Amino acid sequence: MSSFNWNKEAELQWDNRAQFWNDRSVNMWDNGSRKDIIPFVKKHMTKGSKVYDIGCGDGYGSYKLYNTGYDVVGMDLSSEMITRAKERISGNEISFIQGDVMNLPFEKESCDGIMSINVLEWTEVPANALKQLRRVLKKDGFLCVGILGPTAGPRTHSYPRVYGEKAIANTMMPWEFQKLAQENNFTYIDGFGVYRDGIKAQNHEGLPIDLKQALTFLWVFMLRKEGE
């Protein structure tokens, strides 16, 4: 597989998963692992501000952001996901475009905030993707990132690497992303963990943040861009 092209393969695979994702996204955002993300964004990002939803999937998270009072642009690598996102909205309240996080089709410092949930761990070089997010975010702007924890089922998609095979899933863990963000001049403002049903509050309360993250299905970060 010497000709493996991560971005092209990722686009193909996410196109193929679009219907699967579409069938589950509403419940995920309303009742499941992502139900606390929009309130978390609302806590930190000013209503009315321009927010990019990078890796928006079928657009339901973007739709919830818009209904909360934000000026939203949704972007996803998959054209099939974008098709479903546009079908969800009757008018032009939200702009949905196809694009690649490794080369964002936006101007420098063109948004006040970014939401990017379970995107960076599906990129070949997360550091380069983060640099793109930083480029389009205004100084002092907020970046909300969700990174899959080690207990997340989708982690199995990176398993072929143990045989030397290519996969579109990166093994980056929440504590690695936190270090990456710090090294790229983002300040950690806030965060919370989403845990599987078998993990009780007493299992993680009082633990250092890295050990909390080690038990998570998902860790959600709120970061602030420092400097230029």
Walk me through the domains of the chain, giving residue ranges and CATH numbers.
6-225 (3.40.50.150)
- In the prediction, which pLDDT does 157 show? 94
Provide the pairing of β-strand 186-194 with 218-225. Answer: antiparallel
Quick one: pLDDT band at residue 1, thresholds 50, 70, 90? very low
**pLDDT tens for residues 120-163?**
999 999 999 999 999 999 999 999 999 999 999 999 999 999 99
**pLDDT tens for residues 87-130?**
988 777 899 999 999 999 999 999 999 999 999 999 999 999 99
Quick one: pLDDT band at residue 2, thresholds 50, 70, 90? low
Quick one: pLDDT band at residue 47, thresholds 50, 70, 90? very high
Cα separation, 191 vs 221, whole angstroms? 4
**pLDDT tens for residues 59-97?**
999 999 999 999 999 999 999 999 999 998 877 789 999
Cα separation, 2 vs 221, whole angstroms? 35
Q: Which contacts (CB < 8 Å, 24+ apart) does range 32-38 have?
A: 33/194, 33/217, 33/218, 34/61, 34/117, 34/146, 34/194, 34/218, 36/192, 36/194, 36/220, 37/61, 37/115, 37/117, 37/144, 37/146, 37/220, 38/64, 38/65, 38/68
Give CA separation, 185 vs 126, 139, 179, 228, in Å: 15, 11, 10, 9
